[in-house]
């Protein structure tokens, strides 16, 4: 068997450090920063990079995919209602039609294909990184996000006086799911009033999410479950078509804004 190259510890450390820093420096300024790497955020990022835009996804976890790994109740089959299978086709995710208009796919297969497609198209990630705040300037317009390492927020305050840093972006997307964390930062400042997501009503929820996906504040687009939380729309439980198509719509709106 061929021997591994004689590359040592310092070379490995330098390679990681140099490549990480180079990328970080480049993405301190992006066309679009997406907060949250769940299905809606990944889909939005994938489509934006496919259209040639520079996109960074900020994700507080080490892993990407949000709730898309599991369909519900810890069962790893994910469902999609028509016309959401269009997104599955586009991503090359295998599925079967279990009844007219209802499709089932394997969670791990669906989620890994979506992540891979985002990566293949050029989305970059700041994982283990938490969104803390907004950059707000003239007329309340958003200019980017304030971020910190996730572990810092998990440590006791008295030993972690570590200020966050800021990254600039032409447009920001809130894809943080049920928490709508970016929109909530506007609410804290009295700039918006969120309603909280409503009780489950599948037949209504998904169409309403797509309808309400859009710009909630100059420079901020909301997608996925964060749309339900912002506008008080019914939740849909473990079905993901609206997450994927909301991400798609968010990307179209961002493209229109960026020109």
Rounded least distance, CB 131 to ligand 48H, Å: 4
Is the CB of residue 174 less than 8 Å from the CB of residue 57? Answer: no
What span, in angstroms and rounded, lies between the C-alpha atoms of 172 and 250?
Answer: 10
For every residue of 95-141, DSSP letters joined together read: -EEEETTEEEEEHHHHHHHHHHHHHHHT-EEEESEEEEEEEE-GGG-
The whole-angstrom distance between residue 247's C-alpha and the CA centroid of its chain comes to 8
For every residue of 141-199, DSSP letters joined together read: -EEEEEEEEHHHHHS-GGG-----EEEEEEEEEE--GGG-HHHHHHHHTTS------EE
| Contact residue for ligand 48H among 86, 124, 235, 257 (CB under 6 A) | 235
Rounded least distance, CB 96 to ligand 48H, Å: 20
Please tell me whether residue 35 binds ligand 48H under the rule CB under 6 A.
yes
Residue 224 in tokens? 């996925």
Please tell me whether residue 59 binds ligand 48H under the rule CB under 6 A.
yes
Rounded least distance, CB 6 to ligand 48H, Å: 40
Task: Please identify, using beta-carbon distances, which residue of 54 and 209 lies nearer to ligand 48H.
Answer: 209
Q: Is 98 left (phi over 0), alpha (psi -120 to 50) or beta?
A: alpha
Please tell me whether residue 174 binds ligand 48H under the rule CB under 6 A.
no
Rounded least distance, CB 239 to ligand 48H, Å: 7
Task: Please identify, using beta-carbon distances, which residue of 38 and 144 lies nearer to ligand 48H.
Answer: 38
Rounded least distance, CB 175 to ligand 48H, Å: 5
Is the CB of residue 198 less than 8 Å from the CB of residue 237? Answer: no
Please tell me whether residue 144 binds ligand 48H under the rule CB under 6 A.
no
Please tell me whether residue 36 binds ligand 48H under the rule CB under 6 A.
yes
Cis? peptide before 83, omega within 30° of 0: yes
User: Which residues, numbered 195-224, are part of the site for ligand 48H (CB under 6 A)?
Assistant: 200, 224
Q: Is 80 helix (H, G, I), strand (E, B) or coil?
A: strand
Task: Please identify, using beta-carbon distances, which residue of 53 and 246 lies nearer to ligand 48H.
Answer: 246
Segment interacting with ligand 48H, rule: CB under 6 A, options 33-41, 90-98, 136-144, 158-166: 33-41
Q: Which residues bind ligand 48H (CB under 6 A)?
A: 35-41, 58-61, 66-68, 130-131, 175-177, 179, 181, 200, 224-226, 235-237, 240, 243
């Amino acid at each position: 068997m061929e021997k591994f190259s004689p590359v040592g510890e310092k070379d490995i450390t330098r390679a990681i450090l140099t490549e990480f820093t180079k990328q970080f420096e480049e993405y301190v300024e992006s066309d679009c920063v997406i907060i949250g790497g769940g299905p809606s955020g990944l889909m939005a990022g994938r489509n934006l990079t496919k259209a040639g835009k520079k996109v960074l996804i900020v994700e507080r976890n080490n892993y990407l995919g949000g709730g898309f790994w599991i369909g519900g109740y810890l069962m790893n089959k994910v469902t999609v209602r028509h016309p959401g299978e269009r997104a599955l086709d586009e991503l090359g995710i295998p599925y079967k039609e279990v009844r007219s208009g209802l499709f089932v796919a394997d969670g791990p297969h669906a989620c890994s294909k979506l992540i891979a497609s985002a990566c293949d198209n050029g989305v970059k990630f700041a994982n283990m990184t938490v969104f803390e705040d907004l950059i707000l300037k003239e007329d309340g317009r958003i200019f980017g996000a304030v971020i910190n390492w996730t572990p810092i927020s998990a440590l006791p305050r008295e030993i972690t006086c570590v200020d966050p840093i800021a990254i600039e972006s032409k447009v920001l997307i809130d894809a943080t799911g049920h928490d709508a964390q970016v929109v909530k930062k506007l609410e804290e400042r009295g700039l918006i009033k969120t309603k909280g997501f409503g009780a489950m009503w599948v037949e209504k929820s998904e169409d309403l999410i797509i309808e309400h996906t859009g710009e909630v504040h100059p420079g901020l687009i909301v997608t996925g479950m964060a749309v339900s939380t912002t506008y008080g729309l019914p939740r849909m439980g473990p079905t993901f078509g609206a997450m994927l198509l909301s991400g798609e719509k968010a990307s179209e709106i961002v493209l229109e804004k960026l020109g």
